[in-house]
């Protein structure tokens, strides 16, 4: 039995610095197709996807996004994403956010398999994004997934103590470190203890 899916999940890190290399449109379409078939509550499938990779739109959308809250940092224009997948929904019920998460995970894992990095973003100027992408007012902008070939290699590290900070940080060489809780600190057998 292969553990390829597990290995790609363990490899996945959020990427915020990208090479300025175009992603073929057929790959972006493939990523959305993976999102499209994700589980959906009551199979309502409320999500729609906008693929944005037009050269004149990329810097405009880039200017409306905040990338890394803990370290108050954004990539430079020379490191900006080469495409975005914007997830929108008509209306919103209590299950829509779960649908968004499931679809986004399918998208980012499929992208990683193709060597494309991603960053799921919820910090953006929604009204300006809506206007820029001509999104009708009866749709909610749920998430923006920034995409491109990685120009960085973030590392994850196990928290040494469960009380240590989970905030990611950059070292003196500019490498992003992402602390993760240890398995034994978050798992319980049979009952919460």
Confidence check: pLDDT of 145 > 90: yes
Q: What is the mean pLDDT of residues 105-123?
A: 97
Catalogue all structural domains in the chain, each as residue range(s) with its CATH number: 11-152 (3.40.109.10), 154-193 (2.20.180.10)
Question: Starting at the edge strand that comes first in sequence, how are the strands of the sheet with 176-180 ordered?
Answer: 155-158, 176-180, 169-170
pLDDT given for residue 176 in this prediction: 87
Confidence check: pLDDT of 116 > 80: yes
Taking the C-alpha atoms of residue 104 and residue 180, their distance in angstroms, rounded to an integer, is 20
Q: What is the pLDDT of residues 5-46, one digit of tens each?
A: 999 999 999 999 999 999 999 999 999 999 999 999 999 999
pLDDT given for residue 48 in this prediction: 98
Q: What is the pLDDT of residues 51-105, one digit of tens each?
A: 999 999 999 999 999 988 788 788 999 999 999 999 999 877 889 999 999 999 9
């Amino acid at each position: 039995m292969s553990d390829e899916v597990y290995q790609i999940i363990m490899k996945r890190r959020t990427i915020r610095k990208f090479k300025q290399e175009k992603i073929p449109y057929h790959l972006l379409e493939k990523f959305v197709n993976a999102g499209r078939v994700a589980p959906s509550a009551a199979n309502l499938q409320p999500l729609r996807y906008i693929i944005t990779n037009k050269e004149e739109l990329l810097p405009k959308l880039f200017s409306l996004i905040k990338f890394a809250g803990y370290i108050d940092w954004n990539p430079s224009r020379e490191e900006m994403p080469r495409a975005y997948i914007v997830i929108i929904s008509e209306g919103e019920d209590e299950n829509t956010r779960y649908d968004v998460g499931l679809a986004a995970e399918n998208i980012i894992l499929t992208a990683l398999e193709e060597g494309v990095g991603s960053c799921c973003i919820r910090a953006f100027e929604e009204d300006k994004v809506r206007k820029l992408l001509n999104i009708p007012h009866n749709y909610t902008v749920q998430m923006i997934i920034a995409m491109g070939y990685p120009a960085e290699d973030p590392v994850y590290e196990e928290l040494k103590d469960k009380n240590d900070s989970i905030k990611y940080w950059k070292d003196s060489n500019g490498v992003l470190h992402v602390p993760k809780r240890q398995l034994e600190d978050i798992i319980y057998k049979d009952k919460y203890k």
